Amino acid sequence: MNQNWLSKFPPLPEDFSGIGQPIDLARWELSRFLPESAFSLKVEPEMGDAFLLSGSTITGGETGVLYGAYALLRHLQGGAPLPASSRPRYPLRMINCWDNMDGSVERGYAGRSLFFEGGQFVYHPARLRHLGRMMASVGLNVLCINNVNVHEPAQGLLDELLPDLSALADLFRPFGVRLMVSVDFSMPLRAGLATADPLDGRVQTWWAQTAARVYREVPDLAGFLVKADSEGRPGPFTYGRSHAEGANLLARALKPFGGVLVWRCFVYNCRQDWRDASVDRPKAAFDTYQPLDGQFDENVILQIKNGPFDFQVREPVSPLLLSMEKTNMALEVQLAQEYTGQQIDLYTMAPLWKEIFADLEPDRLSAVAAVSNLGRDDNFFGHPLAAANFFAFGLLTWNPEISPEETVSLWIALTYDLDASSRQTLLRWMMNSRRIYEKYTAPLGLGWMITPHSHYGPNPSGYEYDLWGTYHRASHTAVGIDRTAAGTGYLTQYPPELQARYQNASSCPDLLLLFFHRLPYDFVMKDGRTLIQRIYDDHFEGAAEAAELEKALAAIPFPEPDRTVILERAEKQRLNAENWRDVINTFFHRLSDLPDARGRTIYP
């Protein structure tokens, strides 16, 4: 079994009968490296996930002792700094799998589902224990196992599939990982009720009884995750009810059992007329939810994507995350590289999250969630280096103050035995990888020039005359959308400091320039280049850097089988980057009829 950042850890035992609780696992893990007399574990239940390390004693809550053990092992194995005490910033540190029960994974790039096949629970306990260990080793504690688009038979997870759910929860319990399930707002209809209206007494009773049944089988279920009124999913709007009324319905059913209701805010008009410039999709989440601030129950968490669109390579932070004062919020990021190279192209995410946290004041959040990049491939992540994203996500949700470099370099140290110069080279390329991808794909904050639906490779007009609200509006003279008060007004959703940052094209950061402004191709950028020249230059540079990246990776002595997989993917990435360069540059060249100042080949 591929061990990735646990490569220096021995495989878990096949017989897990003696390991029922996190403390048992903590003891087992430590005793692989230290004589039993060299450490002691002390449980103080009220400490929860927190731990103290003093001398040879780890004191912590029931899960805290396990996190303390992994902190110590990260130190021994990879030289990570050893804290005297530590507690996670957020109580819920979640992985959201978009796995379907037919075995497919929506936006999955690492093979089929780890949990399901053929409409049933089908899994290898040893593989899932390894997943539990990966999660625990970086402090992640909630696993939502099924797609937020809940297709049959996953609706049965609250019903006939409960025994399977319960068995899976048992399997993850020693790792301190609690399960969560995605549920569909219309489930009462499946059960034979005539309505799913949140204000209908029968519907309320049905959810209350359902929650009671679920918690009898899985007493420590973390809660439910819901995608409602989003991309065709059912929701309270069908009944003329608000999303507070919808969310509170489920939250009240979960409350007696200590469960949380995580409600996604990915609500927008996905049937837009592209001719109608008065609708601006990034405004949608704020417009829907901000007026409801204060109306959500205590055990509701609104889960908000990091940007106002949808996991593009660069977006400003979602203004909704900055504007809810009286509502619990979870930040949602995407480990699955849907728009960012699909675990073929190298794309290290820690720098991106750091930017979000910088604008966000991390204390405003009560949870963090990531869409999973896991699958059934031997290495779990498709691309061996994509594991670093999962790893860094865990460490950053534990402590958002940690630096991206620190997470990536620790991941490298734990995963591979490389000489110092190879480690440095790898770190440098991983840290630059997002910028490289950005250069050959998305000009200056535009996004969405990707092939529709598959979301790999270029197609500059693919989404332009479609329903999805993702337009760049490139003409023969200008490109981008004015989102200031003079334009769509999106910018006015931000607090004053951020409005000031983005307000003027002359001072707006280059990398978000075309997100906020519509500019002519001869607009002069801060560095003196014209906008069109900058677009050409970035695309040429990005493709050249992807070629250098391939060479740099080839020079690093990765062990097999990782080396082969990494090099195959690096070659595909280079070809992808060349394709993006040519397609995007040609698109703008044809539209603008402006030459490249450096006379390079742009295909007519």
Active site residue 338: yes
SS3 474: coil
Among residues 164, 310, 482, 537, the one annotated as catalytic is 310
Tell me the closest approach of the beta carbon of residue 54 to ligand GCW, in angstroms.
44
Q: How far is CA 470 from CA 6, 99, 148, in A?
A: 40, 26, 22
Handedness of CA 227, 233, 234, 236 (dihedral sign): positive
Q: Which residue is nearest to ligand GCW (CB)?
A: 310
Question: For residues 50 and 336, which CB has a smaller minimum distance to ligand GCW in the complex?
Answer: 336
Q: Least distance in Å: CB of 338 to ligand GCW? A: 6
Please identify, using beta-carbon distances, which residue of 98 and 115 lies nearer to ligand GCW: 98
For 137, what's the count of Cα atoms within 13 Å in the CB-facing half-sphere? Answer: 28
The number of angstroms, rounded, from the C-alpha of 574 to the middle of its chain's C-alpha atoms is 25
- Least distance CB 219 / ligand GCW (angstroms): 28
Token pair for 330: 């979870």
Closest CB 310 distance from ligand GCW, rounded Å: 4
Give the C-alpha distances (Å, rounded to integers) separating 212 from 206, 209, 220. 10, 5, 12
Q: Closer to ligand GCW at the Cβ: 107 or 423?
A: 107
Q: How would you class 192 by CB atoms within 10 Å of its CB: exposed for 0-12, middle for 13-18, buried for 19 or more?
A: exposed
One-letter amino acid at 575 equals L
Rounded to a whole number of angstroms, the minimum distance from the CB of residue 227 to ligand GCW is: 5
Least Cβ distance, residue 287 to ligand GCW (angstroms): 18
Determine the straight-line distance between the first and last CA of the chain, rounded to whole angstroms: 49
Catalytic position from the list 152, 160, 170, 231: 231
46 is catalytic: no
Of 340 and 503, nearer to ligand GCW (C-beta) is 340
Distance in Å, CB of 104 to ligand GCW, minimum: 11
Locate 66 and state its tokens: 């396990």
Whether 310 is catalytic: yes
Q: Which is nearer to ligand GCW, 374 or 553 (CB)?
A: 374
Q: Where are the beta strands (DSSP E) in 251-349?
A: 260-264, 300-305, 328-334
Residue found under tokens 């949602």: 332
Closer by beta carbon to ligand GCW, 106 or else 578 = 106
Nearest alpha carbon to residue 331 among 364, 299, 355, 298: 364
Question: What 3-state DSSP class applies to 75?
Answer: helix
HSE, CB side, 13 Å, CA atoms: give it for residue 28.
Answer: 20
Among the listed residues 197, 229, 338, 538, the single catalytic one is 338
Total residue count of the chain as it appears in this document: 604
Residues making contact with ligand GCW (CB under 6 A) = 98, 106-107, 148-149, 227, 231, 266, 310
Q: Which is nearer to ligand GCW, 227 or 581 (CB)?
A: 227
Cα–Cα distance measured from residue 361 to residue 363, given in angstroms and rounded to the nearest whole number: 5
- Active-site residues, by number, are 231, 310, 338
